[in-house]
């Protein structure tokens, strides 16, 4: 059971827009801690996709965007492409138990 909750799977057709939610609580996202997102293509290492809630590292297409509100965050992908099929993870920090880094359980994106 992950501290941050993500849907196990989402899907969309090429060209469509999909969103992936990351739901936390008052001790992590709701406490103001930043949310970061990672993309893990099949058989590869996770790669930083978004950081500091809304920021894209250089090289990440602007089809990817993210937001945060209250105790939740979301990742949006527009103009879906086959190459976007991957697992996506959110990450934040939880202030309970003297504080620790937390990940969401991951969401498998399938491009139909």
> Cα angle vertex 64, ends 58, 65, to 5°?
100
The phi, psi pair for 31, rounded to 5°, reads -85, 0
Binding mask 21-40 for other proteins (x = CB under 8 A): ------------xx-x-x--
- Tell me the CA end-to-end span of the chain in Å, nearest whole number: 28
The residues that bridge with 19 in the sheet, in sequence order, are: 76
**Site for other proteins contains 99 (CB under 8 A):** yes
User: How many Cα atoms within 13 Å fall on the side-chain side of residue 8?
Assistant: 1
Comparing CB distances to other proteins, the nearer of 16 and 55 is 55
- Closest separation between CB of residue 71 and other proteins, Å? 16
Comparing CB distances to other proteins, the nearer of 82 and 98 is 98
Residues in contact with other proteins by CB under 8 A are: 2, 33-34, 36, 38, 45-48, 51-52, 57, 89, 91, 93, 95, 97-106
């Amino acid at each position: 059971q992950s501290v941050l909750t993500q849907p196990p799977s989402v899907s969309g057709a090429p060209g469509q827009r999909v969103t992936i939610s990351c739901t936390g609580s008052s001790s992590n996202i709701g406490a103001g801690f930043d949310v970061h997102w990672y993309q893990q293509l099949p058989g590869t290492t996770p790669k930083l996709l978004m950081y500091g809630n809304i920021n894209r590292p250089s090289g990440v297409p602007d089809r990817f965007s993210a937001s945060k509100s209250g105790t939740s965050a979301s990742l949006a992908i527009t103009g879906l492409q086959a190459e976007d099929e991957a697992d996506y993870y959110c990450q934040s920090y939880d202030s309970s138990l003297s504080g620790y880094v937390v990940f969401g359980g991951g969401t498998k994106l399938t491009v139909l």
